[in-house]
Amino acid sequence: MITLKSIALGLGLMVLSAHAADLSGTWRIDTAKRGGVVTHTYFVLQQKGRVLTGKVVINGAVDLPLRNPKIEGSDATFSMDWGNSYRVHPEGNTLKVAIRWGTTKTEATAIRVPQAEANPPPSQMLPAMAVVRANGLAATPPMGWSSWNHFGDGIDDADVRGIADALAGSGLAKAGYVYVNIDDGWEGGRDAAGNIVPNAKFPNMKALADYVHSRGLKLGLYSSPGPLTCGGYEGSFGHEDQDARTFASWGVDYLKYDWCSAARVYSDADLEQAYQWMGQALARCGRPIVYSLCEYGMRDVWTWGPRVGANLWRTAGDIQDNWRSMSEIGFDQSRLAPYAGPGHWNDPDMLEVGNGGMTATEYRTHFSLWCMLAAPLILGNDVRTMAPDTLAMLSNREVIAIDQDPLGRQGRRVASSGGIEVWTKPLADGGEAVAVFNRNDREAAGSFTWAQVGFAARPGHVRDLWAKRDLAPAGEGLAQRIPAHGMWMLRLGR
């Protein structure tokens, strides 16, 4: 018997059936980048009725599962871990895609492609485990500038020359900031001989290196052990020695090597060998090149980084320009102090000072904490247009000296109570750097005793490094009111 209920149920099944075939498949969005490079993002989707599953392959480099997928009529919405959210609408063999990232909204068209197109290339045989001889570089934590935090992959030749001029002209170079590092977005592909070439934004990398060197600075580049970089540009997979020789021929002084698409061709267990391969390649390329690993702290990199020839290694995920991100990363570093030293440094990521997401007090805490950590000081702001107070902060020679102290010891937490933390860092002259941090959202009293910071008696000398004045040591220690998210940094002499 045909009833209204059965008719309604049948119509519902017809709708679900119509929807079921709409989104299943592999879809590609092509994005034209400045410099003539086209990157590809894939949606690999499976739809069963009103249930949608799958993944997004961002820039062909990073596989991220769908978050909160929903079927809404003929459309679908989902997000993923990098913060992007999508609404897709099927139109024949295409998807109309609305993309939101933060407050930014864009639209794109995705075309249906064979599923195999979204797959990574086959893996390659990794070298046998071996220890790469130390290169003798980075006796103190590297200092310089990197393009990513401010420019993303939009950096070009003119920007880099302008940054080099600003570092040299502002006094930052004399303060120690000598590396000018081009992060993702410079790569163009490979020539007929397999040599990596820059894209149109960088017409002559050798000439650019020569210009940077003429300003008394050094040039850094970025690549990946995977087929593609995080941004979808050419990686060094299968060309490790060839790329190391090319970098050396251009005059490169620093290489940041970012895991990203390597996760699509290697397992996490291959991490050390994949990084060792480039470490070996740099060791035989004929030029001293600082080797920076970017692997987000996976597999306790601080325990094996020196073995692969690395001078520094990331200990956490990407920093963001806000108090929560900076403080969560920075204050988690104390446990890693035993692994830092001359030639091999823990890297909590680049500095955000001057990018606008934190207050001046928070930026001063950020900078001071990184110096207490003996962290690489890699600026991430636009040094061509920074405010005078930002320049003054980044140029504080007395604070920089704590970071660059030749003993090479990383600071550590020695006391913590009620949101107040006391950190110490041993110095080559027998003294101690002391920083008292207020992690609270309100002003609070910060204090320490001489015994807490390693002194059996009063120190012979106390210097406030931000006030730039000497203090008279008295009693059993010192105390001071500290603003919310602020700090108090001292140098104590015996």
CB 339 within 8 A of CB 303: yes
CB 182 within 8 A of CB 414: no
SS3 for 379-439 is ECCCCCCCCHHHHHHHCCHHHHHHHCCCCCCCCEEEEEECCEEEEEEECCCCCEEEEEEEC
CB 80 within 8 A of CB 252: no
CB atoms within 10 A of CB 420: 18
258 a catalytic residue: yes
473 CB-near residues (< 8 Å, 6+ apart): 450, 458, 459, 460, 461, 462
Distance CA 493, CA 95 (A): 67
> Rounded to 5 degrees, what are φ and ψ at 156?
-140, 180
Strand order in the sheet with 143-146: 345-347, 312-314, 290-294, 254-258, 218-223, 179-181, 143-146, 377-379
Find the catalytic residue in 258, 270, 347, 349: 258
Is the four-CA dihedral 112, 116, 119, 121 of positive or negative sign? negative
Find the catalytic residue in 63, 165, 241, 318: 318
Element (H, E) at 134: none
> Rounded to 5 degrees, what are φ and ψ at 292?
-115, 120
The widest CA-to-CA distance across the chain, in whole angstroms, is 100
User: Residue 475 is encoded by which pair of tokens?
Assistant: 């009693």
Distance CA 233, CA 156 (A): 15
Q: Which residue has the tokens 């291959």?
A: 270
- Please list the residues that pair with 299 across neighbouring strands: none
191 a catalytic residue: no
Distance CA 395, CA 172 (A): 6
The residues annotated with a catalytic role in the active site are: 258, 318
